[in-house]
Chain A
Amino acid sequence: MTVVRRWPQILWLTVVWLLLWGRVSPTIVVGGVVVAIVVTALFPLPLVPRLPFRPWPLLMLAGFLVGDLFRSGLVVSVETLRYGSRSRAGIVAVPLLTRSERVVTVIAAAAALTPGSFVLQIDRQGGLLYVYALGLRGAADAEQVRVQMRRLQERVVAAMGVPA
């Protein structure tokens, strides 16, 4: 009965099913649950201890990321228009705030939405993220990337992090 223990996945898949149909009726809900159970049973993901779920910080993180997406769209566009082919970049080492692999995964994905940067390499032993950032001009900009990344990490850890 491991399927029952995977209820969060079943819930998620049902929500996706409902969004696909775009309306709610008893038949659709039951159909969605059945499909979700079949999919979960056929393609089981490894059962791992669940990450803490804190709705309010998670919502704050989502809002922060939407804001980040707007800012990064603007930043990258401005970089393109102002510098174009003369644009420069850098790779900056950022200390990791967590050891949890899954939290690091979320951090790396979230980092790809921050203005002009994404994670190139993760050094787990050294606890470092190597972040590529577009539009770096000097050491001060690198410091700013570190500050930005630390803020992002703090938000992700607040939303789903576990004490290391």
Chain B
Amino acid sequence: MIRDVVSSVFLLLGALSCLLGALGLLRLPDLPARLQAATKPQTLGLLLILIGTAVRLEFENAATLVLVILFQAVTAPVISQIVARSAYRTGTLDRDLLVIDELTARVEREDGARDAGDDRGK
């Protein structure tokens, strides 16, 4: 009985988190923001659902679910990292949506300094 209640709470919270993550994936304005939604609420949601499921199983299968949980917690950040890096390198980041951008500021400063140097050399 108490197991059912615990399991229900985890499953419901997990599904809600997954739903909010999917909503973020659809509504947020650019790729890195969408990746945030794809990583955080999604991972949290899946973890909660897996815990909710593990509570209802005997130990033998629950152990494997723990493995899936660990695996998901390790791989989700790596995926968002790789995709974000690809986005940044291929120049698909929408700079207009950034309030502060210390990276582009630096790249431009360095390019500017190099151009100034070239001018002097002429």
Contacts and interface: CB of A to CB of B under 8 A. Distances in A.
A20 interface: yes
B113 interface: no
B100 A139 contact: yes
A98 B37 CA distance: 29
A118 B41 contact: no
A130 B106 CA distance: 11
Interface string B99-117: 1111110100000000000
Given A70-B44, A84-B28, A93-B106, A118 B66 contact: no
Nearest to A126: B106
B62 interface: yes
A83 to B, nearest CB: 9
B12 interface: no
A136 interface: yes
Given A20-B64, A134-B33, A76 B100 contact: no
Contact of B102 (A85, A89, A93): A93
B63 interface: yes
A37 interface: no
Contact of A89 (B20, B32, B59): B32
Contacts of A118: 32, 35-36, 39, 77, 80-81, 84
Contact of A130 (B17, B30, B44, B103): B103
A19 interface: yes
Interface string B15-37: 00100110110011110110111
Interface string B65-103: 011000001101110110011001000000001111111
Interface string A18-51: 1111110000000000000000000000000000
Contacts of B84: 118, 120, 132
Contacts of B106: 93
Interface string A71-104: 0110111011100111111111100000000000
Contact of A116 (B36, B64, B74): B36
A113 interface: yes
A92 B101 CA distance: 7
Interface of A: 16, 18-23, 69-70, 72-73, 75-77, 79-81, 84-93, 108-113, 115-121, 130, 132, 134, 136-139, 141-142
Interface of B: 17, 20-21, 23-24, 27-30, 32-33, 35-37, 39-41, 43-45, 47, 59-64, 66-67, 73-74, 76-78, 80-81, 84-85, 88, 97-104, 106
